[in-house]
A and B are shown apart, each in its own frame.
Chain A
Amino acid sequence: MATQTRDAAIVGIHEYPQRSIDGMTPLQIKAESAVRALQDAGLNWSDIDAVYDAGDGAQGGMAGLSISEYFNIKPNVIDTTSVGGSSYEFHASHAKRDIAAGKAHVALLTYGSTARSQSFNIGTGGRMTAGPPTPLGNMESSWGMTLISNYALVAHRHMHEYGTTSEQLAEISVVTRAHAMRNPEAKRAIEELELLPGVREITVEDVVTSRMIADPLHLLESCIISDGGGAVIIASADVARGCPHTPVWLLGTGEATKYSEHGGDITTSAAAQSGPTAFGEAGVTASEIDIAMIYDSFTITVLTILEDLGFCKKGEGGSYVEGGGLYFDKPGQPALNTDGGGLSSNHPGMRGIFLLIEATRQLRGDSSSQVPDAKLAVAHGNGGMLGSRHAAATIILGRD
């Protein structure tokens, strides 16, 4: 624990409760979430001196500036890292860095999306077919690689190398749905968005008999498409000690990217690089983690990342997720995505912020699937495409 520092903590959170948001813009969702998170933290707009923004809702292409003006804040630090669903873990990592360096004291992260109500095509349309020519667009857009088929490339290779089965991958969907059914907001989403196979828990059989979208991945192995948003406030130790909730410390952070490489192994994700950095800085190991908030765009994303973060050896993810050990009420393994995840609660396109929010709820003792005496959580965001190029960041969180 020699290297562990407690210089920055999550002190305010808000998850926008609706999954189908009519008549609101992403900017409004961000602002409303920010206000609720400020109330949660007992802070005011004037306390914020650092803003982190992935450009969702940016006006005039001026990410960082436009959000500051809309909020009416004058930050000393602006960070507009935009790497898809992992953006918020990058933002948290940078907020810790900037607070530790004394450049900022209170950092605001916000997210807002109306992906569902505006019917953004976030996965099953042609990729990179609009816009100006790019090298990657020219080399990839003619083959019809959908988002899910990109992830399916990883799943197939994982099955080929390690004997992983669809039934094992399905276990991830099953435990996530069980947690969603305990979360009133997720349960309402399942009802409102008419998720298959209805408002109930699901079985491995349900998953492997659901429609095949891109072999070997089925419909019930895929994240849902919802509206949503949220906000997270990260503060220095001095500020955090005065906030109403127990501080949730950012104990360690790591960031990484991964691309297709000649002869490379696509069953290993960027988590294999970001994980050791984060765990090393926090001075903890995977075996000590109580809560695993892992970006669940698809089942294979979770399986791969659990391996890469060291919860089990590479190739043993299939057996690791079997047997129900990832349920919130089963000791011995971490509780997985206790809010219901992207698979069964919400996925407005970039769900990384919800990983931080649910990890914070757990460490405060406020989750709808509360792990008794939870002390350590990991939030791992993965943005982009698992089978070709993605960015990932790992955040280790803990309480006093």
Chain B
Amino acid sequence: MPEPKKKFDLPMPKFPEPDTEPFWDAAKNHELRYQVCDECGGIVFHPRRHCTHCPSLNLTWKTSKGEGVIYSYSVVRQNYHPAFRERIPYVIAWIDLDEGFRMLSNVVGVDDPASDVSIGQRVRVEWQDFEAASLPMFTPA
């Protein structure tokens, strides 16, 4: 059974926004991208113009395998934004990707968010496609 059509759209990334536009362009192809510094090898995320570890402007985009662990999470039970209200309860989480960067996302694909999600749990990326963007979410691996 396909899910019933959602009445309200989630807030979507907005453009022009040159720091994050390459991330969201790649997301359309279901590629989870992050930046690595050519000079020091440091990981930069969220995407930016510069290396946050050394005075370098030379960053290269890499594609993550999309696997990692839940660093922490919360089950959101109150949100007056209409798109989120109809998704309650849902899980927000800091995900530590195996490549070494931490990103905010949702944990989806669980029956009971209160009991089926835990810190340290292995997760992998699951793309949810919308007209404006494809959103990287995570599901238990």
Q: Which residues of A line the B interface, CB within 8 A?
A: 121, 124-126, 129, 132-146, 148-150, 152-157, 160, 211-217, 260-264, 266, 387-388
Assess whether B114 is in contact with A135, with CB atoms less than 8 Å apart.
no
A132–B12 Cα distance when bound, in Å, is 12
B: number of interface residues (CB 8 Å)? 48
Assess whether A153 is in contact with B94, with CB atoms less than 8 Å apart.
yes
The residue from A133, A150, A264 contacting B16, defined by CB atoms under 8 A apart: A133
Assess whether A126 is in contact with B84, with CB atoms less than 8 Å apart.
yes
Residues of B within 8 A of A149 (CB): 74, 76, 92
The residue from B20, B75, B76 contacting A135, defined by CB atoms under 8 A apart: B20
The residue from B71, B73, B92, B94 contacting A144, defined by CB atoms under 8 A apart: B92
Chain B, 75-92, CB within 8 A of any chain A CB = 75-81, 83-84, 87, 90, 92
In the assembled complex, the CB of B41 is this many whole angstroms from the nearest CB of chain A, namely: 13
What are 15 A-B contacts with C-beta separation under 8 Å? A138-B14, A144-B87, A144-B92, A149-B74, A150-B74, A155-B74, A156-B72, A156-B73, A157-B72, A214-B76, A214-B77, A260-B94, A262-B102, A264-B102, A266-B71
A266–B12 Cα distance when bound, in Å, is 26
Whether A153 contacts B17 in the complex (CB less than 8 A), given A124-B79, A126-B84, A215-B114, comes out as no
Assess whether A263 is in contact with B104, with CB atoms less than 8 Å apart.
no
Q: Does B140 contact A (CB under 8 A)?
A: no
> Which of B11, B19, B23, B46 has the most A CB atoms < 10 Å from its CB?
B11
Residues of B within 8 A of A137 (CB): 13-14
A260–B71 Cα distance when bound, in Å, is 12
Assess whether A142 is in contact with B74, with CB atoms less than 8 Å apart.
no
A211–B87 Cα distance when bound, in Å, is 18
Residues of B within 8 A of A132 (CB): 14
In the assembled complex, the CB of A220 is this many whole angstroms from the nearest CB of chain B, namely: 14
Assess whether A139 is in contact with B103, with CB atoms less than 8 Å apart.
yes
Residues of B within 8 A of A121 (CB): 80
Residues of A within 8 A of B15 (CB): 133
Assess whether A146 is in contact with B104, with CB atoms less than 8 Å apart.
no
Closest 6 CB pairs of A and B: A152-B74, A126-B81, A133-B17, A138-B13, A133-B14, A157-B72
Chain A's closest residue to B15 (CB) is A133
Q: Does B61 contact A (CB under 8 A)?
A: no
Residues of A within 8 A of B74 (CB): 149-150, 152-153, 155-156, 214-217
Residues of A within 8 A of B106 (CB): 143-144
